[in-house]
Amino acid sequence: MIVLKTSRELSVMRKAGQISQKALRLAGEAVEPGVSTWEIDRIVRQYIEKEGATPSFLNYGGFPASACISVNDVVIHGIPSKGEILKKGDIVGIDVGACYKGYHGDNAWTFPCGEIGEEARALLDATEKALFLGIEQARPGNRLGDVGHAIQEYVEARSYSVVREFIGHGVGANLHEDPSVPNYGTPGRGVRLMPGMVIAIEPMVNQKGHKVRVLPDGWTVKTKDGGLSAHFEHTVAITPDGPVILTRLD
């Protein structure tokens, strides 16, 4: 069931989104050679709790950390570790959520660790652009197929692949709500977008093929062919005036 949010709920969700965004930015600033993914996770948790919120991911379904930190060929759900030390040339996907007064904000970004190669930079640029092309389609009267198609068309025109097994989702009092938000689709198909809907649009784009595998830890998702992967995400409210990104700092 899709839950439409009131103006009061959207106001609270904007604050949750801003906390999530600031935590993500702090995490990105910490991405440097020699830093452990555990240390970045600690920064995220400390900031979110300082702001009177709770990390959305911590203990969610048993996940043991406050942020998902996914390096290079890890698509999503990477578990932070003291033993995972970043090195120059890595690309580091960081996914952060914060729950404030009972509502969630959810966002992700893929950061370069020092200087990165041209192929990695092109992948990041394309995935970021695809996110905003998807957001542009998140307007009342459009359908989820319009959002997914905009992402898919742009990505595949550049010979990258959209991950199929994992997709975006509704956001609200629950971290994951209806509707499902695929990063692929057919224009004019799928759920019709209405004011009051809030969705997480989050393209996961692989350098090579779209297939992925889940490691034995039950969380970590890697590309099946070992190619790089990038992940960008915003929480977006559908309003009469168009899409409003809730995970954006004013």
Average pLDDT over residues 169-180: 98
- Mean pLDDT over 45-53 rounds to 98
Region 116-129: mean pLDDT is 98
Question: Is 30 a residue whose pLDDT tops 90?
Answer: yes
pLDDT at 48 over 80: yes
Would residue 176 count as lying in a domain? yes
How would residue 217 be classed by pLDDT, with cut points 50, 70 and 90?
A: very high
Q: What is the per-residue pLDDT for 43?
A: 98
Q: Per-residue pLDDT averaged across 47-64, rounded?
A: 98
Tell me the pLDDT of the chain averaged across its residues. Answer: 98
Query: How sure is the predictor about 198, in pLDDT bands with cuts at 50, 70 and 90?
Result: very high
| Cis bond before residue 179 (omega within 30° of 0) | yes
- For the cut 80, the answer to whether the pLDDT of residue 250 exceeds it is no
Output the domain CATH number for residue 170: 3.90.230.10
Would residue 2 count as lying in a domain?
A: no
Instruction: Say how many domains are in the chain.
Output: 1
Q: Sorting pLDDT into bands at 50, 70 and 90, what band is 94? A: very high
Q: How confident is the model at residue 249 (pLDDT cuts 50, 70, 90)?
A: confident
pLDDT at 241: 96
Owning domain of residue 204: 7-245
Residue 32 placed within a domain: yes
* Residue 29 is assigned to a structural domain of this protein: yes
Answer whether residue 187 shows pLDDT above 90. Answer: yes
In-domain check, residue 154:
yes
Residue 1 in any domain: the answer is no
What percent of the chain lies above the pLDDT cut of 70? 100
Q: What is the pLDDT of residue 115?
A: 97
Using an 8 Å Cβ cutoff, are 34 and 122 in contact?
no
Q: Say how many residues make up the chain.
A: 250
CA angle 235, 156, 243 (to 5 degrees): 25
Residue 20 lies in a domain: yes
How confident is the model at residue 152, as a pLDDT? 98
Mean pLDDT of 129-136: 98
- Report pLDDT for 34: 98
Residue 75 and residue 163 in contact, taking contact as beta carbons nearer than 8 Å:
yes
> Average pLDDT, stretch 36-57?
98
Is the residue at 215 inside a domain? yes
